[in-house]
Each structure stands twice: as structure tokens, then as C-alpha cells.
Structure 1
């Protein structure tokens, strides 16, 4: 029997970086599958994303609101209840007013494991709302086995109720001919090659000062021509990044682009000689996967989830040892054979992830919790 699936799709209405990538990939994957279920996307503003599929099973429900907390607590659940939804899918917080089984996606519990990386207000709110939401949910989806094990260990939920379903890179993340990519970056950002890339919201968990130090120690002694290009929205803790740039005297070599549109990201990955991703903790970590899918060699922190995402396709390095990072980066930047080997391994690793497959597994979760099935 067909289901009506209510999806909190607020993240599709703006530049929500990784969250938006997750929901857009999931919706596109669900639309690529053969099923008769109806998908209802609830938002507070119209979705204008041109990459949202046109599908008769997909309906948008815009419920205007000047207060997103009120929207999440009352307006969305009341509308989903009135529409007769059979199952709801939300992110992190489960509204108590929803009358149907609820699936929540909890990307990670970094707010609990690394509290010092969050402003006090955010930390308190997440610790207050997310744990009871996970207990209330019919199922918790998280985006890696590493994150699943963290959730089970910390919150002691029944193992069968926490499901690991990996992310995937957007299908638009494909290699761009280097000359074309370089021209687009020059015209839009004034960038020239060669450069080393970092991608992600600029916050303490991303370990940016280590990357700056490693970059400086890799390129300055040998006078390599590379710049450090940092792509991402400014977040909490920007001062430490700025201090590191000054301390290691790479002001003239560092470019902070801010947020960039999705259509330009493949150009950054395709033109870069390497991606540095020394994050201290991730639930998944999309930039390394996007980079590999575009043919960019990856240096990543040796944390549990990177063994799932990057595997043996990149170099996994201690997230606390800038000297090791500097040595690895210097080797990569000065050895084309090593870069080519890593590109080839990266393509193979990236091919293991698919939004269609992740959507299929998510649909199985909906069907498992729906009482009418």
C-alpha cells in the first residue's frame, strides 16, 4: 500500500551546505526509484533549487513562518498530521506533535563528543533536544557506521533502531577539464593555479590551524608556488584561523572564498593539486568524497569515519601532527606520479557511494516503521 512520506525539507531552501546536500541527494535518489509512495516536502519558503526533480510523486507544501522554531514545533507537524502522512522524516529534533512514526537523521553527535567546538548556546540546545528525539523516533538514521557506534555507545539506544546509511557525493561532482576549471576560477574568483584546497564550514572541529601550519611548512622552505584556497562559510572560531595565517606568514598565499555555489565546486576540486581535510571529528565528511569523485588527491585526518569514506584511496594522517602533514603534502605536491595514483584510487573509492542506493535503504526504513505496511 502506498505511503505518504512527510519530509522536513527546510534545508532545501537555502545555502545549508552539507545538510542541503544530504536532503537534495536523498530526494533525488528517492525519485530515481520505482515505487508508488508520495513524498511531501514541507518548507517555510519555496524551494527554488533547479536540481530538485520534477516528479508527480513529489509535492511541495510551503507553510510561511517568521519563526523556524515555531514552524518546526507546531506548523510542520500540524500540517503533516492534517495531510494524513504515514511516516515523517526530520533532522535531529523530533516534533512531539507528530502523530505518525518518525525517522530522524542525526548526522553525528559532535556536540556531545567535542563540546568545546560549539558555542554554549548551540551546545545546550542540542544536548537538550537531540537525545530525547532519538529515543522518541521509530528509527534513527546516521551517515556512517562510525557515527552509529558513537550513538549506541553514548546513548545506549537499541541497536536495531539505529541504522547507518552513508552519504554520497552529488552527481554534479565530476571532473572538469583542468584548463576549463582554471578559467572559471580565474573569471569568478581571481584564482590561479597551483593551489591546495580546503572545503567546509570554518569552525574549530575542522582543525584549520594545523592545515595552515602544514601548508606553510610544506611550501615555504622549497619556495613552491602554491596558494592555500579555503572554501566555506565563516563559522564560530574564525579568530584561530586568522591567527594561524598571520603566525605562519602565509597571508599573501591564502585565499578565503566564503561560500561558493555548488556548480563551482567541481572546478575547485578539479583544479586543486590536493585537498586537505584534517578534521578532528566527522559523522561522514563529504568534501573528501566529492574531491575523489572529481579526481583530486585527498589528505585526511586519521579518524574512524575517514577509513569508511576515504579508505586506502588517500593519505590518512594524525590530526595532531602538523609535521607529518607537511611532509605528506610536500611529497604530494612535488610528485605527479603519486598524485596520479591517488586520483585513480579515489575514483574507484568514490564509485562505492550512490544516492540511489542510500535512498533505497532509507525507503526500506520508512516501510519498516509504517503501520499500514
Structure 2
């Protein structure tokens, strides 16, 4: 069977969780699939080093670089799939080619319906007209079923994964080196991710300001800062002004894009991850932080509650006072779970290798 994969954004310089999802999925598939053949469709030429590290010299994997002609997905990718006689196309970017051979099956991965609310049509079209849909959480599946008239068995839940060989507790020397690189002093809460309305950044900053205001007289909290990592889009630049209006400008720092090598170290050095989104289809930073030994403060709604599953501090994303109280609570006790239980939980539910086997089983349904 010949499987095509839309790898159009795989080589993005500023990777998000979606790019990493495909990277780990392809890398895992290349380790154990000895029956199918694959063609990855790129927008730009991957280097030999990158390609060999991705597919581990598996000769069943090949790639094509497609030039954009008006629409990369709807024309370039569509034509390539027809000329290559692709049997199944795996799409993870919430968009699929409208025109294709009727014999070609499409499997779409849906990371969350927040994308449909932002972009509208392509994500909805992908769900409706794919032959099979993989949802990355039970929450995402339930949201799809509420929104669209499709059958339950069209959607299969397969979790994302966490690479524990990358995300592990780093030593104090590494942490201090990276803290010095970014000018971070003392203890800090950490946010990592994109910036947008659903990420709830203003409420987190206001809750942190309330925390500082409520507990400023306690010596233990004099050195606490809130560090936020992630590229801020131009339309959201105004968020930089909020700490000034709250008189905590010296206690909030925006890092911008954080390179992959620095991220596990910054997480390891944090007192806790602050990830109190209004809505998440999954919430990968939660798993990465837990794997690094950091505490996690996250929302009691959407997939973040599902993914955290008893290992995190939960709070309502709209209640600033409650978020502030949860920050305080996180300082009041040691980690409340057994580390061995956590690692077993991660291995059982969020192993890239095992979850990629589940993805392969979905693809093999169409043999």
C-alpha cells in the first residue's frame, strides 16, 4: 500500500505541537512498518541529514518537493497524489485536497476544534469528507460529535505522545546556564505555547498580579516572576502592555520563540507550568512539564483536565481569584503524586511509538 503524507509544514523553523506530532509519528512509523511504502510531500527541500534522521534510512520512505501553483494543497498536492497513485493520504493540518481520485482514502488528524472556530471551512470540510478521523483526545471527539452530523465510529481517539528522552529533569548547572541566557533570576512560573484568545494569557497575567498583590508581604514570594515563551503574533503585541498597567512589569518577561534545546531546561527550572487555557484539543506542554518534574497549573475544562488526570492543579480559566489561589496552593506542598506512577501513566497512554502503531492500524484498515 502506498501512503502519502502531507508534510508541507514539517520543516517550519518555529515548530509548534502540530509539527512535532508529525515528526514523531513519521519517525516511529519508519522504525516498525516493513510492509507499506510512503511518500512525504514537502514545500521545501529537506537536507540529507534531516531526512535520514527522520526516517532512519528506511528505504520504504521517499519524498517529493512540490512547488506551489496557486494553491499548494488544492492543486500541487492534489495533482501529485493522482500522478503517484496514492492509496491513502494522511493529513494533519486540518485541510485536505478537494479533488482526488475516488479510490484514494483520506485520514485526517484533528488536534482541536479551536482551529475550526478560527479558520472555519477547511477544518470542518476535513472532518466531513475524510474517510477516517483521528482525534487527539476524547474531548476533541466529543466536540466534533456535538458540532457535526457524523457517526461515532468514524472518529478514533489516539493520544499524542511525549518524548521522555528529551523531556526529563535537567540538573541545576544546565538550568542556571539557560536562565542566565534569558536573564531569568530566582523562581518562576512558566508558560510556553502560542498566543491567542483561547490561550487565556490576559487572565493568567492578571491572576499572577493578584497573587503578587495578595501575598507580597510574604518573604517566600519576593523573587517570583512569570516567564512566557512563544512567538507573539503582531495582532497580539498589545499583551506586552498588560503587565505595565498592573504594575508588575518587572515581574513578567516575554521570551519570544524558545529553541527546542532550551525548552526542557526552562521547564525543569520552573516552579510550575502555567497553562490555564480556555480550550485545548490536547495540551502537550502539560505532559512535557510533568515529564521534566515540574508542577502544572491548568484548566479544569477541555482536554487539559483529561490529559492531566490527577497529576496537576486544576482551576477555572475565567476565575482570576481562583487561578491566583491555585498558584498559592502550588507553593504550599511538595509534588502530590508518586513519580513512578506518573512515568507509568505517561508510558501507558502517551508513548509516541505505541500511539504511532495505533495510527498505522487505522491506515491499514483500508488495505
TM-score calculated relative to the size of structure 2: 0.89
Query: Higher mean Cα deviation, 195-204 or 342-351?
Result: 342-351
Tell me the distance in 1 between the aligned counterparts of 2:250 and 2:16. 27
Aligned to 2:5: 7
Equivalence for 2:18: 19
Contact 2:299 2:305 in 1 (8 A): no
Q: Summarize the Cα distance change of 1:298–1:349 in structure 2 as closer, same or farther, 3 Å threshold.
A: farther
Match of 1:79 in 2: 80
Structure 2 CA distance, aligned partners of 1:46 and 1:224? 50
Q: What whole-Å deviation, never above 9, does each CA across 1:76-130 have from its counterpart, x for those lacking one?
A: 1211222222100113112022221111112111145xx4xxxxxxx4xx32222
The alpha-carbon deviation at position 243 of structure 1 amounts to 3.8
Instruction: Flag the 1:258–1:239 CA change in 2: closer, same or farther, 3 A.
Output: closer
The 5 A counterparts of 1:272-351 are 272-333=270-331, 335=332, 337-339=333-335, 341=337, 346-351=342-347
Unaligned stretches of 5+ residues in structure 2: none
Per the TM alignment, residue 131 of structure 1 is displaced from its structure 2 partner at its CA by 2.0
Structure 2 matches for 1:134-149, cutoff 5 A?
Answer: 134-149=127-142
Equivalent pairs counted in the alignment come to 353
Alignment map for 1:215-226 (pairs within 5 Å) = 215-220=208-213, 221=216, 222=218, 223-226=221-224
Deviates more, 1:253-262 or 1:272-281: 253-262
How far apart are residue 132 of structure 1 and its match? 2.5
Q: What are the Cα deviations for residues 302-339 of structure 1, in whole angstroms up to 9, with x where unaligned? A: 11312321010001111111112212212323x3x423
Contact kept? 1:107, 1:143, Cα under 8 Å:
yes
Name the stretch that deviates more: 188-197 or 148-157.
188-197
Are residue 106 (structure 1) and residue 102 (structure 2) matched? no
Q: CA deviation at 1:11?
A: 2.0
Q: Residue 346 and residue 190 in structure 1: after superposition, are their counterparts in 2 closer, same or farther (change >3 A)? A: farther
Q: Which moved more, 1:201-210 or 1:222-231?
A: 222-231
- 1:30 Cα deviation after fit: 1.2
- Supply the distance in 1 between the matched residues of 2:337 and 2:174 (Cα, whole angstroms): 21
Q: How does 1:100-179 map to 2 (within 5 A)?
A: 100-112=104-116, 115=117, 123=118, 126-179=119-172
**Alignment partner, residue 214 of structure 1:** 207
**2:298 and 2:304 in contact (8 A); partners too:** yes
What's the CA shift string for 1:162-187, capped at 9, x where partnerless? 12111112344322433133233135
1:32 & 1:214 partners in 2: Cα distance? 45
* Larger deviation, residues 7-16 vs 268-277: 7-16
CA pair 342-212 structure 1, distance change in 2 beyond 3 A: farther
Report what 1:357 is aligned to.
354
